[in-house]
Structure 1
Amino acid sequence: MSEHRKSRRTPLLAVTAAIAVSAAGAGLALLPGSEASAAEPQLPPRATGWDYQIGGAYEPDADVEVVVRDHTAAPADDLYSICYVNAFQSQPNAEDDWEADLLLRDADGEVVYDGAWGEAVLDIRTEDKRGRIADVVGEWMADCADKGFQAVEPDNYDTFYRFDEYISEDDAVAMAAELTGRGHELGLAVAQKNAVELVDRRDEAGFDFVVAENCGQWNECEGYASAYDDRVLVVEYTDGGFDTTCSGWGDRLSVVKRDLMVLPVGRDGYVRENCPATAGD
């Protein structure tokens, strides 16, 4: 995926708006096996142990209730499972998987890349292209639902910020609305990934909760927490960011520290720590 501004990482692999939770949202089920109908998205629990496994699936630790895995993987058994899809950029070196006109191009007709991760940026500037991109991503999301995932994390929502000479904030929100609509039709909750600047447009975009990278490091946790009633999954990649988030938000948000490449357990460099969970649903 891609590197956010301020050298923030949007993981690789395969402001404050106090928006109240709606009455309908408050009635959503929180965990697999609830009494919610199949069409109702289930929200993740608050302030719980979780793991970000997009670099490879492995057996979760005993303290884990929520797991994020790539859409090519299976969900974690008996846990709240979130399916990762790259929705605003191609996978690394996978631009040929997309129709040529769906790749963003510069004035010379060359494909625009997120150079940090070798990903082609998708062209979300027209309604037609957004729909066609959503057709592709929607197939991945449908597969996620069929596998038993409860939610989906569409990555690179913040592409508009990093490539603002091409893509507007309105383009990003319109693309998000297309994706959340399809996700909800499948019974999936849909996460806002980063882009704290857009929390005040949550209703337009249709997101249900947040996956936020380095919100402690960049002093952004309050923005997400206020907009999403603390239903925020935070991943920090640095000691300082992790300590800040745990001390300020560890009793309200779900916080995990991971290694930058989100390696599976057993690989050299693997890191995973959770803040103590002192609250939950």
Structure 2
Amino acid sequence: MRRFLALLTVLLLALTACTSAPDDDRSDDRSGGRSGDRWQPAPGLAWQWQLSGRLDPAVDAPVYDIDGFDHPASAVADLHRRGRKVICYLSTGAWEEFRPDAEKFPASLLGRSNGWPGERWLDIRRTDLLEPLMAARIDMCRAKGFDAVEPDNMDGYANRTGFPLTAADQLRYNRLIARLAHDRGLAVGLKNDLDQIPALLLDFDFAVNEQCAEYAECERLTPFVRAGKAVFHVEYELETGEFCPEARRLGMSSMLKKYELGAWRRPC
């Protein structure tokens, strides 16, 4: 009888271990999703960032970052057929008067201009109002077949927005956006917001940066590279010879672009 009970105990323990063991390829992350369910761009991947003009799908780059509103699912599918991963550009920290959902944003959410025509900073403290609006936008990205989201204007707390935003407000909001993307199986990038990289590194799958070389800030992005996450980087004012050597040393995905972000590019 004792031998039978001992054997039964061993069998029960073995069954428990088998049923509770985690899937090695699907590790949990802080944003509520599983990192194995979504694309994880690696450091050094070449990319194309085009937000204006007729989309050129023939650029020799494995990653495209394009406007989520401006392009239909068929454009995303075409890029996929060409072997590209596709990032959905959205503004999540500023209101844009030219978007089809602009009238859904209450006037109380709108602050100062962010410097671009027809755009105003959002009161990111009002997550009760902003969460459903941003969830709908990210749903659109998922429905069109995008692989990831590039949420823009993610550093309002460091600008004159018209609202008394704090660093804590920004962390809370940025993590909300990351969770909304991850819950939908999409990767998400941290746009600029260099000061908060240490706090947000685990919440984001890659970084997107403008002009870190011009302002001698690229070293601050290295935590992403060390974590095996891409840093997609552009410069506008420098020549490639002025920033590409350092960009390659740091493992960044860098190129020269014009401010209008058309098809033209000069990669490192």
Query: What TM-score bracket applies, with the shorter chain setting the length?
Result: 0.7 to 0.9
Alpha-carbon distance change, 172 to 56 in structure 1, aligned in 2, over 3 angstroms: farther
What residue in structure 2 maps to residue 151 of structure 1? 148
For the aligned residue pairs, the C-alpha RMSD in angstroms reads 2.7
SS of residue matched to 1:135? helix
Q: Distance in 2 between matches of 1:101 and 1:92?
A: 15
- For residues 63-100 of structure 1, give each alpha carbon's deviation from its aligned partner in whole angstroms, at most 9, with x where no partner exists: 20111011121422331110011001011566644112
CA contact (8 A) 2:97 2:119 kept: yes
What residue in structure 2 maps to residue 5 of structure 1? none
CA contact (8 A) 2:43 2:225 kept: no
What residue in structure 1 maps to residue 252 of structure 2? 253
| Equivalences, count | 226
**How far has the Cα of 1:245 moved from its partner?**
2.7
CA contact (8 A) 1:113 1:120 kept: yes
What residue in structure 2 maps to residue 223 of structure 1? 220
Query: What fraction of aligned residue pairs are identical, expressed as a percent?
Result: 26
What residue in structure 2 maps to residue 233 of structure 1? 232
**How far has the Cα of 1:39 moved from its partner?**
7.4
Higher share of residues assigned helix: 2
**How far has the Cα of 1:28 moved from its partner?**
7.2
TM-score when normalising by structure 1: 0.72
CA contact (8 A) 2:175 2:200 kept: no
Asked if residue 99 in structure 1 is aligned to residue 99 in structure 2, the reply is no
Question: Unaligned regions of 5+ residues in structure 1, if any?
Answer: 1-23, 30-36, 105-111, 266-270, 276-281
- The residue correspondences of 1:25-40 to structure 2 (distance < 5 A) are 40=37
Q: Distance in 1 between matches of 2:255 and 2:26?
A: 25
Q: Which amino acid aligns with 1:102?
A: L
- The residue correspondences of 1:1-16 to structure 2 (distance < 5 A) are none
- For residues 165-203 of structure 1, give each alpha carbon's deviation from its aligned partner in whole angstroms, at most 9, with x where no partner exists: 621111111111111111101001110000111111115
Q: Which of 159, 162, 166 is the aligned partner of 2:159?
A: 162
What residue in structure 2 maps to residue 88 of structure 1? 93
Question: Unaligned regions of 5+ residues in structure 2, if any?
Answer: 1-21, 28-33
Q: Distance in 1 between matches of 2:201 and 2:245?
A: 30
Alpha-carbon distance change, 203 to 222 in structure 1, aligned in 2, over 3 angstroms: closer
Q: Which amino acid aligns with 2:255?
A: V
Bigger RCO of structures 1 and 2 (CA < 8 A, at least 6 apart):
1
